[in-house]
Amino acid sequence: MTTSDRVSAWQPGVPGIREVFHARFAEHAYPLHTHDTWTLLIVDDGAVRYDLDHREHGALQSMITLLPPQVAHDGRPARSGGFRKRVIYLDPDVIGAGLIGRAVDRPEFTDPRLRLRIDQLHAVLGSATDPLQAESRLALITDRLQWHLRDRPELPERRSDRPLAARMRDLLDDHLVDGLDLAAAAGQLGVSSTHLIRSFTDAFGLPPHRYLTGRRIERARELLLAGMAISEVAVRTGFYDQAHLTRHLRRMIGTTPAAYRSGRRIIA
C-alpha cells in the first residue's frame, strides 16, 4: 500500500452480508484469488481492470460488478490515479449457486436504479441503524441482481396484497422495541422477503423499516412529553442510544429530543 491508500472493513451483523469493504488504491494490484462469497462491487472514482475466468473485464463508475464465488479473478487500476471502490461480500446462498455460470459470462450491469440502491445500502451499513432497513434494501438488491442474471425475464404483474401487508404491520407493531427480522417475518407469513416488502409498500405507501421508525418516533414523543429521561426513552422505543434517537427525531420533526421535551406544556 502507498501512503495515499485507504482501507476500511467491518462485519455489519446483517444476515447474508459477510463483510463490507471500502478502499482507495493508487497503484495496488490484486493477484489472482478466489472468495467463497459473492463480491458486489461499485466504483466511485477511477476504473478497475480485472480478469475473471481468463477473460478480461472492466469496472466503471456507471456499472455494478458481481463476481461469483470460487471463480479466480484479479484486479488493478485501469488508468493512472488509481480507483476508489465499495464492496459487499454476500453469503453464497444469497444469490444462489445456480447463477454462478451466468455471472461468469456477464459480471457487469448498467442499471442506475440498482446502483443507487447499492449506494444507499452502503450508507445504511456505515451507520447504526435498525437491521430491518438493511435487510429490506438487501432483499430488493439481490432480487434485481437475480433478475439480471436470468437474462431479464418478464417481471410478474404486481398484485396488491393488503391482507398480507396488514399482518406485517401487526408484526411490526408487536416488535416495536426489539425489532423484526425480515427473513423470519417472511417465513412466518409464507412469502418471499421481496414480495412482503413490495406488498407492504404498495398498501401503506412506505417500506416496513420506515413504518417501524415512524412508530418508534411516535412512541418516543409520548414518553418525552411525559418527562422521561431521553436516554431511557431511546431504550424503551428501540433506538440504539440517545444519539440514534436524536438523529431520527431531527429528521422526522426537525428538532432534538431535548428541545422537544423542553417545549412541552404541563396542564394541571
* 3-class secondary-structure state, position 90: strand
Average pLDDT over residues 23-47: 95
Q: Report the C-alpha gap between 149 and 105 in whole angstroms.
A: 9
* CA within 13 Å, CB half, 40: 25
Q: Report the C-alpha gap between 201 and 195 in whole angstroms.
A: 10
Predicted pLDDT at 156 = 53
9 forms bridges with which residues in the sheet? 21
Domain positions in the chain: 6-149, 162-205, 217-262
Instruction: Decide if pLDDT at 3 tops 80.
Output: no
Helices within 106-150 (DSSP H only): 112-125, 131-149
The per-residue pLDDT for range 212-259, each reduced to its tens digit, is: 999 999 999 999 999 999 999 999 999 989 999 999 999 899 999 999
Distance of CA 39 to the CA centre of its chain: 15
Position 195, amino acid:
H
Instruction: Decide if pLDDT at 130 tops 80.
Output: no
CB 81 within 8 A of CB 26: yes
Average pLDDT over residues 80-95: 95
Distance of CA 254 to the CA centre of its chain: 25
Q: Which CATH architecture has domain 217-262?
A: Orthogonal Bundle (1.10)
CB 199 within 8 A of CB 171: no
DSSP label at residue 22: E
Q: Report the C-alpha gap between 152 and 138 in whole angstroms.
A: 19
Cell numbers for 203: 398498501
Buried b (16+ CB within 10 A) or exposed e, 183-195: eebbeebebebbb
Predicted pLDDT at 121 = 96
Q: Report the C-alpha gap between 132 and 184 in whole angstroms.
A: 11
Closest by Cα among 163, 171, 160, 142 to 198: 160
CATH number belonging to the domain at 6-149, selected among 2.40.50.100, 2.60.120.10, 1.10.1200.10, 2.40.30.10: 2.60.120.10
- Give 144's contacts (C-beta < 8 A, 6+ positions apart): 111, 114, 117
* CA within 13 Å, CB half, 208: 37
Flag the least confident range among 17-21, 115-119, 177-181.
177-181
CB 27 within 8 A of CB 13: no
Measured N-to-C along each axis, helices 131-149 and 208-225 cross at an angle, to the nearest 10 degrees, of 170
Predicted pLDDT at 78 = 94
Question: Quick one: pLDDT band at residue 261, thresholds 50, 70, 90?
Answer: confident
Q: What is the mean pLDDT of the chain?
A: 91
Instruction: Decide if pLDDT at 178 tops 60.
Output: yes
Q: Report the C-alpha gap between 227 and 246 in whole angstroms.
A: 16
